[in-house]
């Protein structure tokens, strides 16, 4: 297994109308997902911006094409919520079906089995609306002391961290079940749709 399965780094990038750019980074490894850095740059400071985003997967807030054009690096990979959600929903559904099949093969013997529990993944998410989503599920979007210019960027980073943590908890639930075996029993730090974009170190 390549190292890409063990570590990934994501940068939330937001361009502002006052010629500022804010960035939050997230470091992801097996069993861990942490906010690992926060920056505010003038858009004229292109070298430092480039240094921060290089070798990271990018989630652009606002207009992705504007951010992509500004960063001007064809090697950068941009992530979207939809593939993550589709894969997470399917993986949870498949595991529940596997449980039901396994139980039905010997219902009497397995009548006390506990059904696996997975996160209730939404069909869609807009990272530009991270504050609203986090508050809708009873989570704090950002601390009260967060500077206004960093609020959306930090909220999006916290939402991504939450999604990754829920994915990893779902993965743990899947591998803890004896009716899930083979390749399905291997925990991945991210859904394959995002993981495949990680550049091996």
* pLDDT tens column, 18-77: 999 999 999 999 889 999 999 999 999 999 999 999 999 999 999 999 999 999 999 999
Q: 127 is written with which tokens?
A: 């990272």
Q: What is the DSSP letter of 183?
A: G
Query: Each residue of 137-162: pLDDT tens digit?
Result: 999 999 999 999 999 999 999 999 99
Question: Is residue 201 one of the residues assigned to a domain?
Answer: no
How far CA 22 is from CA of 18, 81, 130, 139, in Å, comes to 11, 20, 15, 22
Instruction: Answer whether residue 200 is part of any domain.
Output: no
**How many angstroms separate the CA atoms of 35 and 160, rounded?**
10
Residue 110 covered by a domain:
yes
Contact 6, 154 (CB under 8 A): no
CA distance 4 to 83: 18
Report yes or no on 187 lying in a domain.
yes
Higher pLDDT, residue 116 or 134: 134
Range of the domain at 16: 3-195
Place of tokens 């470091």: 27
Say if residues 187 and 172 touch (Cβ distance below 8 Å). yes
Question: CA–CA separation, 17 vs 32, rounded Å?
Answer: 34
Q: What percent of the chain has pLDDT over 90?
A: 73
| Lowest-pLDDT range of 42-51, 157-166, 172-181, 185-194 | 172-181
87 part of a folded domain:
yes
- Say what the pTM is: 0.91
Once rounded to an integer, what is the mean pLDDT over residues 7-19? 96
Tokens at 153, concatenated: 């960027």
DSSP conformation class of 113 = P
Whether the CB-CB separation of 15 and 66 falls below 8 Å is answered with yes
Residue 179 has pLDDT above 80, yes or no: no
Please tell me the total count of domains within the chain.
1
Give DSSP secondary structure letters for 5-41.
GTEEEEEEEEE-TTSEEEEEEEEEETTEEEEEEEEEE
Q: Is residue 114 part of a domain?
A: yes
């Amino acid at each position: 297994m390549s190292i890409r399965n063990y570590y990934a780094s994501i940068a939330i990038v937001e361009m502002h109308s006052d010629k500022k750019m804010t960035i939050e980074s997230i470091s992801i490894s097996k069993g861990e997902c942490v906010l690992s850095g926060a920056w505010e740059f003038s858009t004229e400071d292109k070298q430092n911006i480039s240094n921060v985003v290089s070798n990271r997967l990018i989630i652009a807030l606002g207009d992705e094409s504007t951010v992509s054009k500004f960063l001007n690096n064809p090697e950068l990979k941009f992530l979207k919520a939809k593939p993550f959600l589709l894969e997470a929903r399917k993986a949870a559904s498949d595991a529940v079906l596997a449980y039901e099949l396994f139980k039905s093969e010997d219902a009497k013997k397995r009548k006390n089995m506990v059904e696996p529990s997975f996160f209730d993944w939404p069909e869609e998410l807009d990272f530009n609306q991270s504050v609203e989503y986090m508050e809708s599920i009873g989570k704090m979007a950002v601390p009260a002391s967060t500077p206004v210019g960093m609020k959306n960027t930090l909220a999006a980073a916290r939402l991504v961290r939450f999604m990754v943590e829920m994915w990893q908890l779902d993965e743990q639930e899947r591998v803890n079940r004896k009716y899930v075996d083979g390749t399905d029993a291997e925990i991945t730090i991210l859904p394959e749709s995002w993981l495949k974009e990680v550049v091996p170190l």
